Amino acid sequence: MSLDLSGLAAVQSRMLSIQDRFAAASVSVPASASADTFASRLAAATADTSAGTAVAGADPAPATTAATGDQVVADARRYLGVPYVWGGTDPQHGLDCSGLVQRVYADLGVDLPRVAADQARQGAPVASLAQARPGDLLAFGDPVDHIGIYAGNGQMVVAPKTGDVVKVEAVYRTPTAIRRILPDPLSPSGVPSLAAGAAGPATGALAAAPAAYRDLFTAAAARNGVPASLLASVARAESGFNPSAVSPAGALGLMQLMPGTARSLGVNPLDPAQAVDGAARLLARDLRTFGSNELALAAYNAGPEAVRRYGGVPPYAETRAYVQRVLAYQNGGGA
C-alpha cells in the first residue's frame, strides 16, 4: 500500500512555522518602537496566521491552549509601532484596539470576537487590577468601547487612538471589565497555581491593614509599580491606618500627605483612595530616582532634597527611626 506523504509534509511545515513564531515572540521590543522599525518584523508577525471569527454572544470558558500570559504580551509587543486605524485588522495597514487583541490571540491559536464589547465578555472575570495577570484583557467604557492587553506592573499593550501607534502605556484609568482568556496554569500535581504577577496571600502590614484598604494598596501598587506591602507599611507607620489623622505639622489622612504635596498631586489627602494613589506615585518616583526602598522612604519622610544633600538617609533621628520602622512592618515585624 502506498502512502501519501504530501499531507504529512504540510503538517510538519506548519509546526515549524508555529515554532518559529514562538521563538520570535520571546524577543522583547522596546515600548518606543516606531512604525518604521516594525516593518522589519511584519513578515514574521503575520506569516501564515489568520484572525478567527468566534460567534459573539454566550460567554465561553477560558480557552484551552498551551500559551501563557507572558507569550501573549511578547506577541503583542511584536506589533509595537503599527499605526492605529479604526476598524483595522491587518497589521500591514493598521490595527484598532480590538483588532490588535484579536490578532494577538489568533497568533496563539485562540479565536476571539471582532469588537471590544464582545471580547470583554470572553473568558473568566478578574475581580480587580490587583489580581490581573499579564495577558488578561482590560476593557474600558460602559458600554465597552476600548480594550487592551495587560502587560503587568500597571502597564498595557494597546492601540490607543487615531494618529497614534500600538504602544505600551500605563493603565491610566480603572477598567470596567478584566477578563482572563487563558486557563490558570497547572502545577505538576495538576492543581491550579499562581502565575507570575498574580496576587498571593497578604502578609505583613498588608495583612494587618483593614480589609477596606487592602484593595486600594494592591491596585495602586499595580498601577505605579511599587510593592503593595510598602504602601501598607507606610500607611501603618504614618497614621495607623486612620484616614482622618492630622499630625502636629499639618500632614493629613491615611498617608499623611502635607496639603501642598497633596495639591501638587491633585488628590484629596482625606480621601483614602486618592491618598493611597498619591503616595504610590511619590514612592514610585523616589524609587526610580534613588533606587532603594530605604532611600525612597527617607525621601517620603524628609523630602528628596534632604536625601540628595546627604547622599543617603539624612542624619535626622526621626527619619532614621521612620525608615527602620516602615521596613520592619514590610518584613512582617514591628509592634
> What is the overall mean pLDDT for the chain?
79
Residue 70's pLDDT is 86
Residue 244's pLDDT is 95
Predicted TM-score (pTM) of this structure: 0.44
What ranges make up the beta strands (E) of the chain? 89-90, 94-95, 124-125, 137-140, 146-152, 155-158, 167-170, 177-180
43-63 tens-digit pLDDT: 444 444 333 333 333 344 344
- Whether the pLDDT of residue 22 is over 50: the answer is no
Report, as residue numbers or ranges, the catalytic residues.
238
Angle between the N-to-C axes of helices 211-224 and 228-239, in degrees from 0 to 180, rounded to the nearest 10:
130
Residue 325's pLDDT is 94
- Whether the pLDDT of residue 108 is over 70: the answer is yes
Residue that is written with C-alpha cell 504602544 in the block = 167
Cα angle at 138 between 137 and 142, to 5 degrees?
A: 125
Q: Identify the band that residue 75 occupies on the pLDDT scale cut at 50, 70 and 90.
A: very high
132-175 tens-digit pLDDT: 889 999 999 989 999 999 998 889 999 999 999 999 999 988 89
- Whether the pLDDT of residue 333 is over 70: the answer is no
The secondary structure of the chain in percent helix, strand, coil, rounded to multiples of 5, reads: 45, 10, 45
Spatial neighbors of 325 by CB under 8 A, at least 6 apart, are: 237, 334
